[in-house]
């Protein structure tokens, strides 16, 4: 008995693991994001075909619930130009993750690209509720308000974007609002702040230089354009503007040298060919001028400045029917410019259409009386009429009269399009033609200075052509 008790004491108890039932192995569920890394890799390498294959496999495995795969698929659709399809996919992402501001930003951007600016602002406002410190949302809201012509709201949003984070594009869009409102001084102040923030941005330097050029402040214009060319010697906008300044001061050969450089970079630029044509006009090479202006008109058929210059050249060559054609077309695009009606009246007078010429003169006087006084003085000089027969605006003080005359001459020299000098030249040519007896031969060319050039337009385009700021791509 003692031995049996000893054996019972020495036996080890059964382990607890052997007493428990064995658990079955857990089933393997599919991981929704297991191939996101591969999708991201193909996308950043711009291997979109391989990326779409992986996305298709991922969506089949996850039954269409992989948000990242849908997101990248939408980005690829937008890059391929399928904006509506990308919008639908981004909306799906927004449903899967309703608290994600990035998804709403992409929905709004697709709506913007579809031209639905009001709907885009509503979605951007929803995204702003989720993330109030995102400068991209404020910037893009400002751009949408620009397209909706709500400039006050656009300025508020763009200033908010600058307060959160300063970017060059925000300054550019804010400056364009002031240009659309016609406030050059405020636009210049904004671009000056932008240049202080980004002093090596050639686009900002060129735009600021062109704004100074429009105001006739040539020293500052030359300074900023020179800085732009220092950082980028191939900047065709700055070269075109510098050539325009030289052309304005009558240095046509140097201006043409500059334009040759620009022609290599942008051979299909309408302002370039317009300026080249006016250089030839200043050199009295009228056939070459018409050829260049016709090319500019072919590239930009709705640019009234080119049509104006074509009418001016034809009027100088005493081709009045052609001048009437181009001036009429220019008036259709710029009906509030008195000089166009005056030139049209000159052409009609030489075409012996007296009634319509009187109407054109009357419209020109109604639109711009000051310009008509200047042209009357020039016409009087061309017709050899004494100064006593030319009406001048009465001035109280002789000193102020002298000061006004000198200021008028300076302003006349700084105006684009050759408005004063070329108009005087064209009208002198027409007057000389009218003084000849019937059947007389050709007239000698007028000796007045050549016309001033058309200033370049690319960097001072006033329509907000830029799309909203680029949205950062969503990462894994």
Whether 265 is in a domain gets the answer no
C-alpha pair distances (Å), 412 with each of 23, 244, 326, 371: 97, 16, 24, 10
Q: How far is CA 135 from the centre of its chain?
A: 22
Average pLDDT over residues 281-299: 94
Whether 356 is in a domain gets the answer no
C-alpha pair distances (Å), 472 with each of 24, 58, 106, 443, 467: 46, 23, 10, 67, 14
Res. 57: pLDDT tops 50: yes
Average pLDDT over residues 61-77: 90
- Given a contact cutoff of 8 angstroms between Cβ atoms, the answer to whether 127 and 98 are in contact is no
Res. 415: pLDDT tops 60: no
Number of domains in the chain: 2
Q: What is the pLDDT of residues 239-258, one digit of tens each?
A: 988 888 888 888 999 999 99
- In this predicted structure, what is the pLDDT of residue 22? 60
Whether 57 is in a domain gets the answer yes
Complete DSSP assignment for 115-162: T-HHHHHHHHHHHHHH-TT-HHHHHHHHHHHHHTT-HHHHHHHHHHHH
Question: In a 10 Å sphere around its CB, with 0-12 CB exposed, 13-18 middle and 19+ buried, how is residue 41 labelled?
Answer: middle
Whether 266 is in a domain gets the answer no
**Domain range for 171:** 145-184
Whether 284 is in a domain gets the answer no
Q: What is the pLDDT of residues 419-458, one digit of tens each?
A: 455 555 555 555 454 443 333 333 333 333 333 333 333 2
The total number of residues written for the chain in this structure: 476
Task: Indicate the pLDDT class of residue 190, thresholds 50, 70 and 90.
Answer: very high
The CA distance from 450 to 350, in Å, is 22
Whether 13 is in a domain gets the answer no
Whether 38 is in a domain gets the answer yes
Q: How far is CA 383 from the centre of its chain?
A: 44
Task: Indicate the pLDDT class of residue 326, thresholds 50, 70 and 90.
Answer: very high
Q: If DSSP codes are grouped into helix, strand and coil, which group holds residue 384?
A: coil
Token match 């060559």: residue? Answer: 317
Whether 235 is in a domain gets the answer no
Please say which residue of 184, 205, 240 terminates a domain: 184
- Please give the structure tokens belonging to residue 269: 């630029």
Q: State the CATH number of the domain containing residue 89.
A: 1.25.40
- DSSP annotation of 417 reads G
Average pLDDT over residues 275-304: 94
């Amino acid at each position: 008995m003692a031995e049996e008790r000893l054996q019972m004491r020495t036996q080890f108890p059964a382990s607890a693991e052997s007493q428990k039932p064995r658990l079955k192995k857990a089933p393997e569920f599919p991981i929704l994001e297991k191939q996101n890394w591969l999708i991201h890799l193909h996308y950043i390498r711009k291997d979109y075909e391989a990326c779409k294959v992986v996305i298709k496999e991922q969506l089949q495995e996850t039954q269409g619930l992989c948000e990242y795969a849908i997101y990248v698929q939408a980005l690829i659709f937008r890059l391929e130009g399928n904006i509506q399809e990308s919008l639908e996919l981004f909306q799906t992402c927004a449903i899967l993750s309703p608290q994600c501001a990035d998804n709403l930003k992409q929905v709004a951007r697709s709506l913007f690209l579809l031209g639905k600016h009001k709907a885009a602002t509503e979605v951007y406002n929803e995204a702003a509720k989720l993330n109030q410190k995102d400068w991209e949302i404020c910037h893009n809201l400002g751009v949408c308000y620009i397209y909706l012509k709500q400039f006050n709201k656009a300025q508020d949003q763009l200033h908010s974007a600058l307060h959160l984070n300063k970017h060059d594009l925000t300054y550019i869009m804010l400056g364009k609002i002031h240009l659309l409102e016609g406030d050059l001084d405020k636009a210049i102040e904004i671009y000056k702040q932008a240049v202080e923030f980004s002093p090596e941005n050639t686009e900002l330097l060129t735009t600021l230089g062109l704004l100074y050029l429009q105001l006739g402040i040539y020293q500052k214009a030359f300074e900023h354009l020179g800085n732009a060319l220092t950082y980028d010697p191939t900047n065709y906008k700055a070269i075109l503007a510098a050539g325009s300044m030289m052309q304005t001061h009558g240095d046509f050969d140097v201006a043409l040298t500059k334009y040759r450089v620009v022609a290599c970079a942008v051979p299909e630029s309408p302002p370039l060919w317009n300026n080249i044509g006016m250089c030839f006009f200043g050199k009295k090479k009228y056939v070459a001028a018409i050829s260049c202006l016709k090319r500019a008109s072919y590239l930009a058929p709705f640019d009234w400045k080119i049509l104006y210059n074509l009418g001016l050249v034809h009027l100088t060559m005493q081709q009045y029917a052609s001048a009437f054609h181009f001036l009429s077309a220019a008036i259709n695009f710029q009906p509030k410019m008195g000089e166009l009606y005056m030139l049209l009246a000159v052409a009609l007078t030489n075409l012996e259409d007296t009634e319509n010429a009187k109407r054109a003169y009357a419209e020109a006087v109604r639109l711009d009386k000051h310009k008509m006084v200047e042209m009357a003085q020039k016409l009087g000089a061309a017709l050899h009429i004494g100064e006593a027969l030319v009406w001048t605006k009465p001035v109280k003080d002789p000193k102020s009269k002298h000061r006004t005359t000198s200021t008028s001459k300076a302003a006349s020299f700084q105006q684009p399009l050759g408005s004063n000098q070329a108009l005087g030249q064209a009208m002198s040519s027409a007057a000389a033609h009218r003084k000849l007896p019937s059947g007389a031969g050709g007239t000698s060319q007028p000796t007045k200075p050549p016309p001033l050039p058309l200033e370049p337009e690319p960097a001072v385009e006033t329509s907000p052509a830029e799309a909203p700021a680029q949205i950062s791509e969503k990462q894994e």
